[in-house]
Amino acid sequence: MMPEPSTSQRGLPGERATQSCSAVICSSVGSTLPPWACSDGVSRAGTAMATTAVKDWYRFMHRLYTWRGVPHNLKVRSLSSAGNPRATPIRLDMPNPSMISVVPTQRRTTAHSDSLPIADRPQPILEFVRHRISEPARFPIRLGLTMLNNGSYGLTPDVVREAQIELQRLLEEDPVRFFKADLEDYCDDTRGAIAAFTRVRGEDIALVPNGTFAVATVLNNLDLSPGDEILVSDHEYMATFNELGKICKATGAKVTVAKIPYPTVTPEQVVESFVAEMTDRTRMVLVSHITSASALVLPVKEIVAAAKQRGIETFLDGAHTPGQIDLDIGDLDPTWYAASCHKWLACPKGTGFIYTSPNRKGGFKPMVLSCRVHETRSDRAPYLCDFDYTGTNDYTGNLVIPVAIEHMGAQLPGGWDALRKRNHDMVIAGAQIVCDMLGIEQQVPESMIGTMVSIPLPGKCEPSNLLGEGLWDRLYLNHGLQVPVWDLPGVCDRMTRISAQLYNTLEDFEKLGEALKVELDR
């Protein structure tokens, strides 16, 4: 029996809906008709010819492909009709058997014996790689490159990337089921892992693509008026300044700046600088937990406490924090906390979260509203629904955060505490090696260093054709070193920021010291 005709994808008779057979019909002038149709302008003789050809093609395909899961295309370019002189001869594009995989898709999802779907929640993705969690982390660093810049984008080990690939496979097998049902379960798994790692409730965690997106989301949820002040430091990330500039232009609010000494600085000086700028117009204090360019670990707990005493909301930008230092958001108790997960948690790119204090979740919305935001559910808070799905996207990076936390935490006998201490001790020793080789003093106090540290360099930043700064380019092209060199306007004319991750050794820092000696003498 001939299947129902359609120009959309359909399976062969008896085949599963997951297989594809697309028919593209291009008819004679002025009509678009399937070859078995009879209508004005197309003769029955021409229709019979096309119908016979299609039937023969179906018989050929059934004989050739007895297994399931093999895609094939029927493309009928035009109809031939003895009664229609404008029609051109029919042509069938046949698949090339050598180009088609003969291995059906291997199903790993739970199913009944008859292969029908079931309503159970999906297995946590952590279970897919549970047997590999304790494997040594393998980072895909290009051969010949010495990576001393984990702080910018991080690196994702093989086990985590393969877990993401598995989720992407599941998504593509049934995207409707994935986005409408399974996504929430995977998001809940991720929230649970983040909550345990940062010591907060999972229901207060919203998943976002990165820290920059998180900062913009929080700032755009503020109800600001002309004259309101947002207090930041002069070490703040440039993306934050850019977003603040846009918001202040629209609302009439303004930015006030606390000056932080560098590189000779103490935690007490930082707190004093912030408190000195707090006024009765200050609506929010926004402070990086670990600054980007200068890599300082700031005393945010004391800053949050000082702001709360004055009735000021607080927002901590923790883009560099998870995985670099121990993070207890519950103890810090800010109004909001934002973080990226691709850096020191070793998650894929496009991963992050926002913590929102329970009393500020009402009406808190993502930057993009999906088609589901208007729906109300008794079983799930809008805060979770709205952020879990913001439209069709690849959310799988965030969904493998539990895998990254477990995998990196299994690399040393002491878990994450041991990993953080190892990286901290290495960057302290590495910075000392570099400074000794250059004949300069490392002045940043160890209490304000996590697993990366910035070192002021002589001179000013130079023009660049590649990475943003001339010395940075030369270290990369001439020595195979990936280490950032930049300035911090108004604070430092030129500095390099070095990072220590599991893949680094002290020899990496010796190589950097030698290269800097060569390039700074040019």
pTM: 0.80
Domains: count for the chain:
3
Cα torsion 485, 489, 490, 491: sign: negative
Q: Are residues 87 and 202 in the same domain?
A: no
Whether 125 maps to a domain, the answer reads no
Q: Are residues 472 and 394 in contact, defined by beta-carbon separation less than 8 angstroms?
A: no
Q: Are residues 207 and 333 in the same domain?
A: yes
Helix (H, G, I), strand (E, B) or coil at 207: strand
What is the b/e burial string over 438-447, where b = at least 16 CB atoms within 10 angstroms of the residue's CB?
Answer: beeebebeee
Which residues fall within 8 angstroms of residue 414, CB to CB, at 6 or more apart? Answer: 421
Distance CA 92, CA 89 (A): 10
DSSP state of 396: H
The pLDDT value given to residue 10? 35
Distance CA 351, CA 73 (A): 38
Whether 113 maps to a domain, the answer reads no
Which residues fall within 8 angstroms of residue 96, CB to CB, at 6 or more apart? Answer: none
The pLDDT value given to residue 97? 62
Element (H, E) at 36: none
Give the residue from 69, 99, 129 where a domain finishes: 99
Q: Are residues 184 and 261 in the same domain?
A: yes
Q: Are residues 486 and 404 in the same domain?
A: no
Distances (CA, A) of 108 to 78, 191, 404: 42, 24, 22
For residue 92, give the nearest of 119, 60, 69 by alpha carbon: 60
Q: Residue 239's Cα: distance from chain center in Å?
A: 17
Which residues fall within 8 angstroms of residue 447, CB to CB, at 6 or more apart? Answer: 267, 297
Torsion of CA 303, 308, 309, 311, to 10 degrees: 130
Distance CA 173, CA 446 (A): 50
453 forms bridges with which residues in the sheet? Answer: 498
Element (H, E) at 339: strand 336-340
pLDDT digits (tens, 9 = 90+) for 189-248: 999 999 999 999 999 999 999 999 999 999 999 999 999 999 999 999 999 999 999 999
pLDDT digits (tens, 9 = 90+) for 364-394: 999 999 999 999 899 999 999 999 999 999 9
Q: Are residues 236 and 375 in the same domain?
A: yes
The pLDDT value given to residue 9? 39
Whether 494 maps to a domain, the answer reads yes
Q: Are residues 316 and 185 in the same domain?
A: yes
Whether 140 maps to a domain, the answer reads no
Q: Are residues 311 and 317 in contact, defined by beta-carbon separation less than 8 angstroms?
A: no
Helix (H, G, I), strand (E, B) or coil at 315: strand
Whether 163 maps to a domain, the answer reads no
Q: Are residues 372 and 420 in the same domain?
A: no
The pLDDT value given to residue 151? 97
Q: State in Å, rounded, how far the first CA of the chain is from the last one.
A: 81
Distance CA 260, CA 297 (A): 12
Distance CA 459, CA 493 (A): 7
The pLDDT value given to residue 27? 35
Whether 388 maps to a domain, the answer reads yes
Q: Are residues 278 and 396 in the same domain?
A: yes
Give the residue from 58, 81, 99 where a domain finishes: 99
Before 263, cis peptide (omega within 30)?
Answer: yes
For residue 270, give the nearest of 212, 242, 231 by alpha carbon: 231
Q: Are residues 357 and 461 in the same domain?
A: no
Provide the residue range defining the domain that includes 485: 415-520
The pLDDT value given to residue 7? 39
DSSP state of 233: E
Amino acid at 325: I
Which residues fall within 8 angstroms of residue 56, CB to CB, at 6 or more apart? Answer: none
CATH number at residue 502: 3.90.1150.10
The segments of the chain whose pLDDT lies below 70 read 1-114
Which residue pairs, CB below 8 angstroms and at least 24 apart, start in 461-466?
461/485, 461/486, 461/487, 461/493, 461/494
Give the residue from 409, 429, 463 where a domain finishes: 409
The pLDDT value given to residue 92? 57
Distance CA 307, CA 305 (A): 5
Element (H, E) at 23: strand 21-25
Nearest-5° Cα angle at 75, 71 to 78 = 170
Nearest-5° Cα angle at 172, 171 to 177 = 50
Whether 151 maps to a domain, the answer reads no
pLDDT digits (tens, 9 = 90+) for 96-130: 665 555 454 444 444 444 679 998 999 999 999 99
Angle between helices 158-173 and 401-409 (to 10 degrees): 160
DSSP state of 124: P
Q: Are residues 270 and 291 in the same domain?
A: yes
Q: Are residues 435 and 405 in the same domain?
A: no
Q: Residue 141's Cα: distance from chain center in Å?
A: 19
Whether 313 maps to a domain, the answer reads yes
Q: Are residues 513 and 437 in contact, defined by beta-carbon separation less than 8 angstroms?
A: yes
Q: Are residues 440 and 260 in contact, defined by beta-carbon separation less than 8 angstroms?
A: no
How many residues make up the chain in this entry? 522
CATH number at residue 232: 3.40.640.10
Distance CA 124, CA 84 (A): 60
Q: Are residues 266 and 310 in the same domain?
A: yes
> Exposure of 77 by Cβ count < 10 A (0-12 exposed, 13-18 middle, 19+ buried)?
middle
The pLDDT value given to residue 5? 44
